Amino acid sequence: MIAQGFEYTAPKTLDEALGLMADGAKPLAGGQSLIPMMKLRLATPERLVDLGRLRDLNYIREQGGNLYIGATTTHYEVESAPLVRSKCPLLSATAACIGDVQVRNMGTIGGSVAHADPAADYPAALQALEARIVLKGAKSERTVSAADFFVDTFTTALEPGEIVREIVVPVDASGVSYQKSYQPASGFAVVGIAVRIAKSGGQISLVRIGVTGLSNCSYRATAAEEALEGKAGSASDVRAAAALVPQGVHANSDLHASADYRRHLATVYAERALAAALAEA
């Protein structure tokens, strides 16, 4: 199908883009989710503001123990940047799992988190990394945690007129792993589990588990984290913790997987991700 007609603007500055958005225009980044939705007439914006050409939103910087990633940084840039690979390998490994090479060349981290598809990959890693998301409107800027940003299916903490400006993740020396069950046609996560683990004196001193695909939006599996903290991380510790990952959340059911199957996948992939991260910790 062909999208409904729309007005297209490619502003030169972020202020200009935010001014157009304050007037009701919708941001366009890599177009990998928005354009298909427009072609299917699931979205019918009358005016689009192209953020993809704003150079000052495309960067990866390190400062004070964090990486700062501009919203229009593509999935391929996150996957391949030596800084992300060496300082936050969980994020680069997650980016490498997104869709196919065309999608990764065009799609952006800001577009992915703003879109908040319940099967998107980044949210699992951003939950496990306790990332912060910087939101900017015409007159103000604020920072929210990943835990507060992802609210529901395709629903985030973004207010009208705000954009995702930047993602902030910690430089991370823990053992990490992202394991996902792929939806075979698109590559989206039927379930995806991101884990980071640190050990001290033979015991797990930190464990963070981010989950995507299972429920309406991504979340931290805190019951499983609490079950593992202080343990040695034996195979039985890991199995018992993985069984807690789907606990307390509503599991989605659709043509790709029933709720019961998704819960089963969550425990299996959590066990794999925990074992792989522990082997590195």
Q: How far is the CB of 94 from ligand FAD (least distance, A)?
A: 8
Angle at 133 between CA 41 and CA 269, to 5 degrees: 80
Q: Is 11 in the site for ligand FAD (CB under 6 A)?
A: no
Q: Is 111 in the site for ligand FAD (CB under 6 A)?
A: yes
Q: Measured in whole angstroms, how far is the alpha carbon of residue 3 from the centre of its chain? A: 27
Q: Is 107 in the site for ligand FAD (CB under 6 A)?
A: yes
* Residue 7, burial from CB neighbour count under 10 angstroms (0-12, 13-18, 19+): exposed
Tell me the H-state helices in 141-250.
Answer: 146-149, 222-228, 235-242
Q: Is 121 in the site for ligand FAD (CB under 6 A)?
A: yes
248 three-class SS: coil
Instruction: Give the residue with the Cβ less far from ligand FAD, 92 or 108.
Output: 108
Q: Is 197 in the site for ligand FAD (CB under 6 A)?
A: no
Instruction: Give the residue with the Cβ less far from ligand FAD, 3 or 275.
Output: 3
Q: Which of 3, 6, 19, 31 binds ligand FAD (CB under 6 A)?
A: 31
Q: Is 170 in the site for ligand FAD (CB under 6 A)?
A: no
* Residue 6, burial from CB neighbour count under 10 angstroms (0-12, 13-18, 19+): middle
The residues binding ligand FAD (CB under 6 A) are: 26-34, 36, 51, 71, 98-99, 103, 107-108, 110-112, 114-115, 117, 120-121, 158, 163-164, 186-188
